[in-house]
Amino acid sequence: MNRPIRTPQELAQAGYIGAGEVDDVARVAERYAIAISPAVAAMIDPTDPDDPIARQFVPSAAELVTTALERDDPIGDLTHSPVEGIVHRYPDRVLLKAVHVCPVYCRFCFRREMVGPQGLGTLTPEALDKAIAYIAAHEEIWEVILTGGDPLVLSPRRLGEMMQKLAQIEHLKIVRFHTRVPAVEPERIDDALISALNACGKTVYVALHANHPRELNAATRAACARLIDAGIAMISQTVLLKGINNDPDVLAELMRGFVEMRIRPYYLHHPDLAPGTSHFRVSIEEGQKLVAGLRGRISGLCQPVYILDIPGGHGKAEIRPSSIEPRGDGCFTVRDFRGGEHRYPPEG
Ligand code: SF4
């Protein structure tokens, strides 16, 4: 199929769900968007019931279970939205959510109540101008982070227009895009899109969201190389997900893959309390153990920052286990990557 798979019937035809699952998945589809792009379909092994790519994108009846802890706006975007399309949580940066559409819909999405055909849609030109005017009026804003939805679904023409408006804001220095496009629709990363990204004359970062090393295939690597060769810096973001990457070998291969592609590993997100996603969540303790296990095992260049978005909109907190503790005598106990403990400073 050379267009995205979007319906329960198409999922069944592709062999991603059984005929007996169509009714449950139709109930899921009433609430949450579905899309599997051709590039993602090509990564899925339909004969593997535990395929880590399929698990990320193929809906299941487990999404019909919402637990008491889960909430529609798990990271509190709405609490910090002074004008439509802007989230201003930290003093020196804002999110600009110009679009709430994605080329694929991740089953664990933290904004699943906002994205998709029934979501918040795309900002009107007037709303976008108001959002950009907000950035222009706040001189403390050093960085704008385009997220959504996936901002790289916008046409190069619309992206270029937006970037030219951002170019006029003197105090704005960094424009960052959060996207899955280089992995899930790599054909979009062409000369026109790259020219649009570079149209603002600011320093541009692209954060690639990828969760499994199989997403870093030849097409993804070529798309990222096009961006980086054009002067765009890249960082990564990954969500820690049960049954997909809660495995030290998988995480190590993924982080090494990013570095090999000249992408600096950045965030490893603890999964948010989005509705219908409890089947993806690992415990904080498991996440800390996995992250601690990466120390020593892979290069320092490959270490992501393990973070939790505090529910309610209180921002991000690093939750990596500490390797140093005070002893109470003015000295510290430091743990090495093998678990050995050492006094610091050492006895003289
Ligand atoms: S691409 Fe991002 S915003 Fe879109 S469904 Fe996936 S996690 Fe959500």
pLDDT in tens, 307-345: 999 998 899 999 988 899 999 999 999 999 888 999 999
Contact 180 CB / ligand 1 (< 6 Å): yes
Query: Is residue 190 annotated as a catalytic residue, yes or no?
Result: no
Query: Is residue 316 annotated as a catalytic residue, yes or no?
Result: yes
* Model confidence at 24: pLDDT above 80: yes
Percent of the chain beyond pLDDT 90? 87
Q: Give the pLDDT mean for 295-303.
A: 95
* Model confidence at 11: pLDDT above 80: yes
- pLDDT for the residue 120: 85
So where are the chain's domains? 8-64, 78-320
pLDDT band at 4 (very low <50, low <70, confident <90, very high): very high
pLDDT band at 85 (very low <50, low <70, confident <90, very high): very high
- pLDDT for the residue 231: 97
pLDDT band at 187 (very low <50, low <70, confident <90, very high): very high
- pLDDT for the residue 330: 94
- Residue from 150, 152, 272 to probe ligand 1 pocket by mutation (most atoms less than 8 Å from CB): 150
Contact 107 CB / ligand 1 (< 6 Å): no
Set 16, 202, 272, 306: catalytic member? 272
Measured CA to CA in angstroms, residue 280 lies from 52, 201, 242, 271, 340 at distances of 12, 40, 5, 8, 32
Evaluate whether 153 touches 103 at the Cβ level (below 8 Å): yes
* Ligand 1 center–CA 342 separation, angstroms: 43
Lowest mean pLDDT among 112-116, 127-131, 165-169, 330-334: 112-116
- pLDDT for the residue 1: 72
- pLDDT for the residue 252: 98
Q: Give the pLDDT mean for 297-305.
A: 97
Q: Give the pLDDT mean for 195-215.
A: 96
- pLDDT for the residue 248: 96
- pLDDT for the residue 322: 87
pLDDT in tens, 228-254: 999 999 999 999 999 999 999 999 999
Contact 188 CB / ligand 1 (< 6 Å): no
- pLDDT for the residue 146: 97
* Ligand 1 center–CA 334 separation, angstroms: 39
* Ligand 1 center–CA 300 separation, angstroms: 28
Query: Is residue 51 annotated as a catalytic residue, yes or no?
Result: no
When comparing pLDDT for 338 and 141, which is higher? Answer: 141
pLDDT band at 29 (very low <50, low <70, confident <90, very high): very high
Q: Give the pLDDT mean for 46-69.
A: 95
pLDDT in tens, 153-169: 999 999 999 999 999 99
Annotated binding site: 102, 106, 109
Mean pLDDT over the full length of the chain? 95
pLDDT in tens, 266-281: 999 999 999 999 999 9
pLDDT band at 172 (very low <50, low <70, confident <90, very high): very high
Atom in ligand 1 nearest the alpha carbon of residue 184? 1
Contact 149 CB / ligand 1 (< 6 Å): yes
* Ligand 1 center–CA 266 separation, angstroms: 17
* Ligand 1 center–CA 201 separation, angstroms: 27
Atom in ligand 1 nearest the alpha carbon of residue 180? 1
The model's pTM: 0.95
> Cα–Cα distance between 333 and 229 in angstroms, integer?
44
Query: Is residue 306 annotated as a catalytic residue, yes or no?
Result: no
Query: Is residue 93 annotated as a catalytic residue, yes or no?
Result: yes
Q: Which CATH architecture has domain 78-320?
A: Alpha-Beta Barrel (3.20)
- pLDDT for the residue 321: 85
